[in-house]
Structure 1
Amino acid sequence: MRVAVMGAGAVGGYFGAKLDRAGHEVWFISKGERRKAMRISGLRVESIDGDFQVVPLRTTRNASSVGPVDLVLFTVKSCDTREAAEAARPMVRSHTTVLAIQNGVENEAIIGEVLGDEHVVPGVAVIGVDMPEPGLIRHTNNGSITLGEVSGEETQRVRDICEAFAGADVETRVSSDIRSVKWRKLVWNASFNPITALTGRRVLDLIEDDNARTLAEDAMREAIAVGRGLGHKIDDSIIARATQRDPNWADSKTSMLQDIERGRPTEIDALCGAVVRGGERVNVPTPVNSSLLRLVKAKERAVVETRGL
C-alpha cells in the first residue's frame, strides 16, 4: 500500500513508522527541522512495546512529488486541516482513502469540502505519544485506531486499512457508529486537554487532584449532554473510566500541554469550541467548556507575548 502521512508529528510519525516497518511505502509530508532530522537519521521510536528505528525514510515537503497514493493518514492539527487538505490534492485519485484521526469532530467535513466526502473515513487514535525532538518519538501509552464509514457499513476499503494496520502490529477496530466514537473521545479531550494545559500538570496528576478532577468531570458532563442532544450514544460510565488512577498515565502529557510548553497554537477551538457550538445547536448550556475555551485562548496569547519579549 502507498501511504502518505499528512502531519508527520508524534501521532502521524508513530503510525506511519509502524506501517513503513511492516513493508508499506510510506511518505512523510513534513518541513523544517523535523524533515531535516528524518532525512538524516529517519525516525527513532522509543516505545513501551519495544524501541525501533525506520531508516532510510521517505520524506518530502511537497505532496505533489509523491504521486497518487492509496491512503492518506491525516494527522495535522485541527487548525491546519483546510490548508493540509489543499496540499494533499495531488495525491488523491478516485481510489484514495483519507483516514482522518485528528482530535475534534469537525475536521472530516472540512476535508470533504476540499477533497470530496467520498474519500473520507473518520477515525479515532487512542495513544500517548510525543516528539521531544525532531526525529524522535516517545510512545508512553496505548496505540490503537478505531475507524468506520459514516454510513455504518463495513466496506472493503475499511477492511483493507484494518488489515494493513494489523500487519503493522497496530490494534484496529471497526465501528458502525464512528461519529459517536469520535464524540466520546471529545468528551475526554475537551476536559483533560485544557485543564492540563492551564495547570501544567500531567494526566495522572490531574486525576489525583480532587479539584482538577472535579472540574474535568463537570466539563465531561456538559460534553456528554451535548453529544446526546446531537444523537450520539454516550454512556455515563465514560466519566468513571476516564478518571481511573491508571499508572500508565504517569508520564503522559496531553497534546495541548505540549503545545503550550512549545509556544504553538492549541486545538482548543476544535475541542471545547466544538462542545460550545454543539450546545448552541441543541440548547444545552456549556458554561464550563466556555470558560475553559476562553482561559486557554488567554493562555495562548500570554505564551506568545512572553516568547516575543
Structure 2
Amino acid sequence: MNIMIFGAGALGTYFGSRWSETGENVSFYVREGRKVQIEQEGLQVISVKGNTKVRSPKLVTNASEVSSVDLVLLGVKGYHLEDSLPVLKEFVRKGAKVLPILNGIEHISILKDELGEEAVLGGLSYIIATLDDHGHVQHTSELHELIFGPLHPSQEEICASLSKINEHANFNSQLTSNIEEEMWKKYMFISAMSGVTTAGDFHTGIIRDVPETLKLVENVMSEIGTLASQYDIHINQEDIDRRMKSFQSLPYEATSSMHQDKRKKNKLEVEHLQGGALRLAEQVQLKLPYTETLYRLIKPYEIQKK
C-alpha cells in the first residue's frame, strides 16, 4: 500500500514510522521547515513501546511529486485543515482515501464536502506523544491505538487491507463498523481532558487528586454525551464511566496535547475542540455551560506570544 503521512507531527511520525518498520511504502508530506529538520536530525521515535528510526525517509513537499497514493493519514492540527484541502484534493484525484485522525468532529463534514463522501474514512487515535526540540517523537505512555472504519460502503476493501497491514505494526489497531460512535466517544474524552488541563494548567495527576476538579472532567464528558445524542449517537453512563477510568489510569504527569501547546506557547486547537462543540450545540439549541466556560477561559491563550 502506498501510504502518505500528511504532516510529520507527533502522531503522523509515530504511525508512519511504525508502518515503515513493517516494510510498507510510506512517504511524508511536510512543509519546507520540517523537511530541513528531518534531513538534519533524522526521523526517530523514542517510545516506551520500543524505539525506531526511519532511515532515508521519503519526504514530499509538492503533491505533483507523487504519481499514486492509496491512503493519506491526515494528522494535522484542526487549525491547519483549511490550508490542507488543496493538496488533499490532488491526492484524492490520484486515487487516495483520506483517514483523518484529528481531534474533534466538525472536520469530517468539511472533508466530505470538499473531497467527496467516498474519499473520507472515519478515524481516531489514542496516544500521548509530542515532538522534542530535535523533531523526534517522544511517546511516553502505553497508549498507541489507531481506530478506523468505513463511512461509505465503497471503503470496506481498503479498510480491510489496512487492518491486515496493522496486524504486523507495533501499535494497537481496531477496525470498527461503528466508527462515528467511536469518534464521538473520543471527542467526549478529549474535550474534557484538553479543556480542564489547559484551562487549569494542570496535568492529569493533580486533577485526580482533587475530587471537585475530577468531577468537572466528568461533567464535560456528560455534556458532550448529551450533544452526541442530538446527532443520533447514543452514549450512555457506562461509556462515560469507562472513559473516566481511562483518565484515572493515565500516568500522573500525563496531559493533553493542547496543554502541551499552551506550555510551549504554540497555537491552540480550542476553536476546533471546545469551539466546535459549541457550534454543534447551537445548531440543535443545546446549552453546554461547562464546555462554554472552559472555552472562554482558554481563548485568551490564543494571543500569547513566545
The answer to whether 1:202 aligns with 2:171 is no
Partner of 1:48: 48
Partner of 2:90: 90
Aligned partner letter, 1:117: E
Identity of aligned residues (%): 26
Cα deviations across residues 122-146 of structure 1 (Å, max 9, x unaligned)? 1011111111223310112211111
Check conservation: 1:213, 1:243, Cα contact below 8 A: no
**Bigger Cα displacement from structure 2, 77-86 vs 33-42:** 33-42
**Bigger Cα displacement from structure 2, 209-218 vs 287-296:** 209-218
Partner of 1:99: 99
Q: Which runs of 5+ in 1 are unaligned?
A: none
Q: How far does residue 147 in structure 1 lie from its aligned partner after superposition?
A: 1.0
Separation in structure 2 between the aligned mates of residue 256 and residue 159 of structure 1, nearest angstrom = 32
User: Aligned with 2:132: secondary structure?
Assistant: strand
Partner of 2:80: 80
Check conservation: 2:127, 2:144, Cα contact below 8 A: yes
Match of residue 282, structure 2, among 280, 283, 298: 280
Q: How far does residue 210 in structure 1 lie from its aligned partner after superposition?
A: 2.0
Q: 1:82 to 1:65 in 2, by over 3 A?
A: same
Check conservation: 2:72, 2:96, Cα contact below 8 A: yes
Q: How far does residue 211 in structure 1 lie from its aligned partner after superposition?
A: 2.9
**What pairs up with 1:1-309 in 2 under 5 angstroms?**
1-93=1-93, 95-141=95-141, 142-151=143-152, 155-244=156-245, 246=248, 248-301=250-303, 303-304=304-305, 307=306
Cα deviations across residues 164-216 of structure 1 (Å, max 9, x unaligned)? 22222332112222111111111111111021112222223322222321221
Check conservation: 1:152, 1:177, Cα contact below 8 A: no
Check conservation: 1:41, 1:55, Cα contact below 8 A: no
User: Aligned with 1:276: secondary structure?
Assistant: helix
Check conservation: 1:198, 1:299, Cα contact below 8 A: no
Separation in structure 1 between the aligned mates of residue 257 and residue 64 of structure 2, nearest angstrom = 29
Cα deviations across residues 27-85 of structure 1 (Å, max 9, x unaligned)? 11222543222123421111111112112111132232233211100011111112112
User: Aligned with 1:226: secondary structure?
Assistant: helix
Check conservation: 1:130, 1:139, Cα contact below 8 A: yes
Check conservation: 1:41, 1:135, Cα contact below 8 A: yes
Separation in structure 2 between the aligned mates of residue 252 and residue 112 of structure 1, nearest angstrom = 33
Separation in structure 2 between the aligned mates of residue 207 and residue 41 of structure 1, nearest angstrom = 37
Separation in structure 2 between the aligned mates of residue 96 and residue 38 of structure 1, nearest angstrom = 25
The two structures, once aligned, show a CA RMSD in angstroms of 2.0
Separation in structure 1 between the aligned mates of residue 251 and residue 152 of structure 2, nearest angstrom = 34
User: Aligned with 1:169: secondary structure?
Assistant: coil
The alignment of Structure 1 onto Structure 2 pairs a total of residues equal to 304
Separation in structure 2 between the aligned mates of residue 204 and residue 162 of structure 1, nearest angstrom = 34
Cα deviations across residues 78-113 of structure 1 (Å, max 9, x unaligned)? 111121121233332363211111101111222223
Check conservation: 1:96, 1:119, Cα contact below 8 A: yes
Aligned partner letter, 1:187: M
Check conservation: 1:20, 1:54, Cα contact below 8 A: yes
